Structure 1
Amino acid sequence: MTDAESLHAAIHEEVALQAYDASWSDRFVAERDRLLALFPLIFVDIEHIGSTAVPGLMAKPIVDLLAGVETMAMARSLTEPLREAGYTTSAEFNATLTDRQWFMRCADGHRTHHLHIVVQGGPVWTRHLRFRDALRASPVFAARYAALKAELAVRHPTDREAYTSAKTAFVNSLSGDD
């Protein structure tokens, strides 16, 4: 499958939320350790983000990794090495991004991991961790987010972009971008 075909399939893949699965944490650790072994001097840190990083929260079963590097030039230089390591991406999409690079891993025709490469300690890094930590710290916020996600999954069952976009205001309210 080409990168363009992979991206098209990802965008139009059904938004299927699942109950929290404790194995998501193990899948994060395994992939983090694999990436750190493959690129020992590149990643400053790798964090588990997204809904799979919040115990008890329903989620799409895709583990999100936030990988910190020193510069965006370093992030951009990883495209081919990450492809060789089993990731795919959209060169066109990544070319539109100034503050991150995005990759995905698939198995059996479904996404298993998203890799977001950003400058460690920069605004995107901080925003993602602030949001994750707010959900982990507050059952009320986590419940509100779960309800929003469930509603949006029904409203946008095959439009990942619309689903993600519709969550933006809530995410920004908890990550300090409001």
Structure 2
Amino acid sequence: MDNGNEHNNIPVWAFERIEIVKPDPDWKEKGIREREELHNVLSAFNVKQVEHIGSTAISNLPAKPIIDLMASVPSLELIREIAETLALHHWHYVPPKLDKKPWRRFFVKVKNDKRVAHLQLMQKGEERWEKLLAFRDKLRTDAHLANEYAVMKSQLAQEFNDDRERYTEAKTEFVNKVLFS
């Protein structure tokens, strides 16, 4: 797979700085379009559910301008074929060795060397599926929680703006508080 401008086989989008921007009313429509496209592309692999998750799925929440999605697959056994199919639609596969999350398969959609969407493929029945939906739905219905999350994300984006993994890890305590309170 050709990833465009690469240095040492590492695509430039792999090192994008974390940038939190003001809420964009177009995110909802972009999420719908990405969901529909993914559903059409992945239906050949018996994918029945694609969800828009993450901060761009929550009205009025500042976020990285990247549409986060997840799809449920019956099995991860066909990942090579799925990755080849998604590559035709600008999705880049990040293998588990690099992603370091063996419970999912991760893809990044890139346009003009910038991330525009993320996709997590999870095997049907994966417990994190319901947790991600629950977190999204709690923030959608609780403006105070959503605001608290927005403030924290902005602070973390400044602190870890060159380290996506540490940024994500630093949000875990808040996510768990929302899910288990």
* TM-score (structure 1 length as normaliser): 0.88
Decide whether aligned partners of structure 1 residues 145 and 76 sit closer, same or farther in structure 2, where only a CA change above 3 A counts. farther
The Cα shift of 1:163 comes to 1.1
Tell me if 1:170 matches 2:156.
no
Question: Superposed, which structure 2 residues align to 1:78-157 within 5 Å?
Answer: 78-91=82-95, 92-93=97-98, 96-157=100-161
Structure 1 unmatched runs, 5+: none
1:32 to 35, 59, 74: 35
* TM-score (structure 2 length as normaliser): 0.86
Q: Distance in 1 between matches of 2:170 and 2:154?
A: 12
Whether contact under 8 Å (2:135, 2:178) holds in the other structure is yes
Q: Distance in 2 between matches of 1:16 and 1:52?
A: 13
Q: Distance in 1 between matches of 2:140 and 2:148?
A: 13
Q: Distance in 2 between matches of 1:85 and 1:115?
A: 12
Tell me if 1:52 matches 2:56.
yes
Map Cα deviations across residues 125-155 of structure 1 (whole Å, 9 max, x no partner).
Answer: 1111011011111111101101100111111
Q: Distance in 2 between matches of 1:29 and 1:139?
A: 22
The Cα shift of 1:40 comes to 2.0
Moved over 3 A (4+): 74-77
Map Cα deviations across residues 36-70 of structure 1 (whole Å, 9 max, x no partner).
Answer: 22222421200110000000100000000111112
Whether contact under 8 Å (1:15, 1:160) holds in the other structure is yes
Higher-RCO chain (CA-CA 8 Å, sequence separation at least 6): 1
How many residues were matched structurally?
174
Q: Distance in 1 between matches of 2:49 and 2:153?
A: 28
> Percent identity among equivalent residues?
32
Whether contact under 8 Å (2:23, 2:62) holds in the other structure is yes
Whether contact under 8 Å (2:94, 2:105) holds in the other structure is no
Whether contact under 8 Å (2:107, 2:120) holds in the other structure is yes
Map Cα deviations across residues 97-130 of structure 1 (whole Å, 9 max, x no partner).
Answer: 4311000011112100000111244302111101
Decide whether aligned partners of structure 1 residues 121 and 134 sit closer, same or farther in structure 2, where only a CA change above 3 A counts. farther
Report the equivalent of 1:23: 26
Q: Distance in 2 between matches of 1:21 and 1:109?
A: 21
Q: Distance in 2 between matches of 1:76 and 1:32?
A: 21
